[in-house]
Amino acid sequence: MQVQRLRRERVYDPVLRLIHAWNALLVVLLLITSQLASWLEFSWEVAALWRLHLWCGYLLLIGLVARLVWGLVGPAHARFTELWRPGVWLQAIRKRQFFSPPEAMGHHPLASLAYVAFYAMAWIMAGTGLALAAIDQGVGPLFNALGYAFESKAWFRQPHDWLEELLLAFVLLHLAALILHERLHHIPIAQAMVSGYQYRKEEP
């Protein structure tokens, strides 16, 4: 039996890991509160659930701003330059090879396409969510511009509703990809956003 040697490096800093955990937890809470509120429809708990949803939304917005700042001033593996890899994405499309084993340390260059998409969707959710807060609940920073403007609601409600499905798909794919990488490529991947350490196969 061949023994595989792994090398280990500290890659993800504690601030990035904290932001990841914060955003992940809030996205899960936002998905749960919106699903529950839609399911309960017109019962009395619904108003409280939408309030909770909005508070989770504000907290997610803080996490998104923190990630933006850290992407500009944080260490190399937290910078946006590591997430933005159009050359690698084009090559993967040409070769039709979308699930390759991780090689260099840092974010997997193909997974980073999904991360960029995630942040774009999360920002649209935050913008449309703030508009819905003003229209439906009469609160928030957009109240002066959109307070109770029900005639404009569809403009914000529809993208907010559609992107919910895509965000759910991102979460499921992200978790599935972490498990699949571990199974297929025999490298501990998921723990990296908890411990900060990444493992890669040693060159033979």
Binding-site member from 113, 132, 142, 146 for ligand HEM (CB under 6 A): 132
Q: Least separation, in Å, of the C-beta of 8 and ligand HEM?
A: 14
Q: Residue 99 phi/psi, 5° resolution?
A: -130, 75
Which residue in 63, 129, 142, 199 binds ligand HEM (CB under 6 A)? 129
Residue selected from 63, 113, 133, 146 as contacting ligand HEM according to rule CB under 6 A: 133
105 lies in the site for ligand HEM, by CB under 6 A: no
What single-letter DSSP state applies at residue 5?
A: P
Distance between CA atoms of 173 and 105, rounded to whole angstroms?
Answer: 21
Q: CA quadruple 188, 201, 72, 14: dihedral positive or negative? A: positive
Closer to ligand HEM by Cβ: residue 76 or 90: 76
Interface characters, 154-193, with ligand HEM (x: CB under 6 A): ---x--xx--x--x---x--x---x----------xx-xx
In this complex, which beta carbon is closest to ligand HEM, that of residue 93 or of residue 166? 166
C-alpha–C-alpha distance, residues 9 and 17, integer Å: 15
Note whether 20 binds ligand HEM by CB under 6 A. Answer: yes
Q: What angle do CA 196, 84, 20 make, to 5 degrees?
A: 35
Judged by CB under 6 A, the stretch of 1-9, 50-58, 91-99, 143-151 that binds ligand HEM is 50-58
Provide the minimum distance between the beta carbon of 59 and ligand HEM in the complex, in angstroms, as a whole number.
9
How far apart, in whole angstroms, are the C-alpha atoms of residue 98 and residue 115?
15
Rg over CA atoms, the chain: 20
> What's the burial of 109, exposed, middle or buried (CB within 10 Å: 0-12/13-18/19+)?
buried
Q: How far apart are CA 109 and CA 100, in angstroms?
A: 10
Looking at residues 81 to 100 of the shown chain, list those that interact with ligand HEM (rule: CB under 6 A): none
Q: Which is nearer to ligand HEM, 125 or 146 (CB)?
A: 125
Single out the residue of 28, 48, 145, 176 in contact with ligand HEM (rule: CB under 6 A): 28
Minimal distance, residue 134 CB to ligand HEM, in Å:
8
